[in-house]
């Protein structure tokens, strides 16, 4: 069953990790995929070619999700290139960890701007064509850290908790236009982002997870596919945890 055949999906931050897995999964399911990257130019260009092998239309754009004007221009360009926009996946995100005592204003501002403002930027631009089409699915990547907090990640936790409030507000505002807005809260997923942690910390995380292992990017991509497709047509304003039972 091809769940999103012919739909156009825009995924931010798809050069690596979870975003890359989402782009691949959607292409595999017949969606046309527009995606962004920022610093990983070679990886972004390679992904475009990889996605095209699924026989769909794929295009990568170098675009900073935290830049409001760039986000507007990106959506305009995607509409010019693809003709429509059905699914928006706000995935781009970063960490700049540190205990609050030592956290700088710059660490705070960078994380809030890249993780949270980016979601506002892209969603604001994407809802215009979605409202016209009277249809759309928006999926925002939050985190279990946004639900319960985490020592050393006050900036990241605040950005991810902010995404949840934003997601629910958009669901309330745009439900009557048949635009759904949901969030996915991954737990510990094995990507470059979590690869920065030391081995002891990783082992402790794994032991605290009921399924006793870290998750894989494609396991988040599968949840994303569900929320993007008609399988979830009566679901909006929700946060779906993909965390092996970490936060129960």
CA distance 46 to 222: 22
For 96, counting Cβ atoms within 10 Å of its Cβ (0-12 exposed, 13-18 middle, 19+ buried), the class is middle
61 is catalytic: no
Catalytic residue of the set 37, 61, 156, 234: 156
Question: Footprint of ligand NAP on this chain (CB under 6 A)?
Answer: 12-19, 36-40, 64-66, 91-94, 114, 141, 143, 186, 188-189, 191-194
- Chain-centroid distance of CA 22 in Å reads 9
Strand ordering across the sheet containing 136-141: 58-62, 32-37, 8-11, 87-90, 136-141, 179-186, 239-242
Report the residue number, 38 or 51, with the smaller CB distance to ligand NAP: 38
Report the residue number, 77 or 135, with the smaller CB distance to ligand NAP: 77
Nearest by Cα to 90 from 177, 182, 27: 182
Q: C-beta of 166: minimal distance to ligand NAP in Å?
A: 13
Q: C-beta of 243: minimal distance to ligand NAP in Å?
A: 8
Handedness of CA 76, 78, 81, 85 (dihedral sign): negative
Report the residue number, 44 or 136, with the smaller CB distance to ligand NAP: 44
Q: C-beta of 221: minimal distance to ligand NAP in Å?
A: 10
Report the residue number, 41 or 100, with the smaller CB distance to ligand NAP: 41
CA distance 54 to 40: 22
Report the residue number, 79 or 224, with the smaller CB distance to ligand NAP: 224
Element housing 8 (H / E): strand 8-11
Catalytic residue ranges: 156
């Amino acid at each position: 069953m091809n769940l999103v055949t012919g739909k156009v999906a825009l995924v931010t931050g798809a050069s690596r990790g979870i975003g890359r897995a989402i782009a691949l999964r959607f292409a595999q399911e017949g969606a046309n995929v527009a995606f962004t990257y920022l610093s990983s130019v070679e990886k972004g260009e390679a992904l475009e070619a990889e996605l095209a092998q699924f026989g769909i239309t794929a295009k990568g754009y170098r675009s900073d999700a935290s830049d409001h004007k760039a986000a507007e221009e990106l959506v305009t360009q995607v509409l010019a290139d693809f003709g429509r926009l059905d699914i928006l996946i706000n995935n781009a995100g970063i960490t700049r960890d540190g205990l609050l005592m030592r956290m700088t204003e710059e660490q705070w501002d960078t994380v809030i701007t890249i993780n949270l403002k980016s979601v506002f930027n892209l969603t604001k631009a994407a809802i215009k064509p979605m409202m016209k089409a009277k249809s759309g699915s928006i999926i925002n990547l939050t985190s279990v850290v946004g639900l319960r907090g985490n020592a050393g990640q006050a900036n990241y936790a605040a950005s991810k908790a902010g995404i949840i409030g934003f997601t629910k507000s958009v669901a309330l505002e745009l439900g009557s236009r048949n635009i759904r807005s949901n969030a996915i809260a991954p737990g510990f997923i094995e990507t470059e982002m979590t690869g920065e942690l030391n081995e002891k910390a990783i082992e402790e995380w794994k032991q605290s997870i009921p399924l006793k292992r870290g998750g894989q990017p494609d396991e988040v991509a599968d949840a994303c596919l569900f929320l993007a497709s008609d399988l979830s047509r009566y679901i909006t304003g929700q946060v779906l945890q993909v965390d092996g039972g970490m936060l129960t």
